[in-house]
Structure 1
Amino acid sequence: MVDNMGASASNEDNYMINEQERLLPIANVGRIMKQILPPNAKISKEAKETMQECVSEFISFVTCEASEKCRKERRKTVNGDDVCWALETLGFDDYAGPIKRFLHRYRELEVDRANQENGRNIRPKDLE
């Protein structure tokens, strides 16, 4: 009987670990939530946990769609363009546009940074 209880506790522990791995860190979620609120606003633990579940589920939903696209194209790496495609496909056009712009700007900055490290001063626009 002790063995069964030990196995049960172990299964519960594994479930809790897997559950926590699937969720964004609650501290990060709380920090993001606080940014939009007035400085004196309070956020309940329940509100943070609810938002943690929602954003984690949203990310999983979009990532799954992007991953499926990559699988069909026989690719192993999901990239930013795949995420933007998934957002549009799933009807989140309001998010896809800003993320596309962010991704484009991020790539420009990465090229600039790489050029500076190599001692060059070539911008992506100069390459076109």
Structure 2
Amino acid sequence: MAEKLEDLNLPNASVLKIIKEALPESVNIGKDARSALSRAASVFILYITSQASNEAQKANRKTLVGQDVITALEELEFDSFVEPLQEVLKEFKDSKGKKASKPKKSNEEENGGKEEVEDENDQEEDV
């Protein structure tokens, strides 16, 4: 668990990146507004996580899953977030499945297309 309240804040660089992506380039944002948005985002995440944790406990689980977060958003009446989150979860699961199904590289591919050649001294001779 966090030792200090500040440990629960999101990284400022990440928050600033999200803010810049959401606003037009011509808009500047003050330091106090960045701080307020960062704190608000942290509180929102803690709020949703707490509710999702309750959902996991109801199901006798200690691990939160994506569906717990979706259910938490629905129960807390953040319905506008549910569909985008479901899409992101689906993309994540699809990409995770693709990574797991990649074929293993052959020795030739692992060695940059070069076959390993044994040293003549290492070869055993049949007598």
**TM superposition score category, shorter chain reference:** 0.7 to 0.9
Cα displacement (A) at 1:79: 1.2
CA distance in 1, matches of 2:38, 2:24: 20
Q: CA deviation at 1:112?
A: 1.0
Distance 1:117 1:57, change over 3 A: farther
After TM superposition, which residue ranges in structure 1, 4 or more long, deviate above 4 angstroms? none
**Coordinate RMSD, CA, aligned:** 1.8
Higher helix share: 1
1:14-62 residue CA offsets vs partner (Å, 9 max, x unmatched): x9x6122111112211111011223343211100011011111111111
What is the match of residue 110 of structure 2? none
Which of 1 and 2 has greater Rg? 2
Q: 2:90 is matched with which residue?
A: 104
Gaps of 5+ in 2: 106-127
Q: In the TM superposition, what is the alpha-carbon distance from 1:117 to its structure 2 partner?
A: 4.5
Residue by residue, what CA displacement relative to the aligned partner does 1:49-105 show, whole Å, maximum 9, x if unpaired?
Answer: 110111111111110000011112211100111111110111111001110111012
Paired position in structure 1 for 2:4: 18
**Residue equivalent to 2:60:** 74
2:24 aligned partner, one-letter code: P
In the alignment, what sits opposite 2:38? 52
In structure 1, what is the equivalent of residue 24 of structure 2?
A: 38
Q: What is the aligned-residue identity percentage?
A: 32
TM-score of the superposed pair, with normalisation by structure 2 = 0.74
- CA distance, structure 2, for counterparts of residue 24 and residue 52 of structure 1: 6
Q: How many residues align?
A: 104
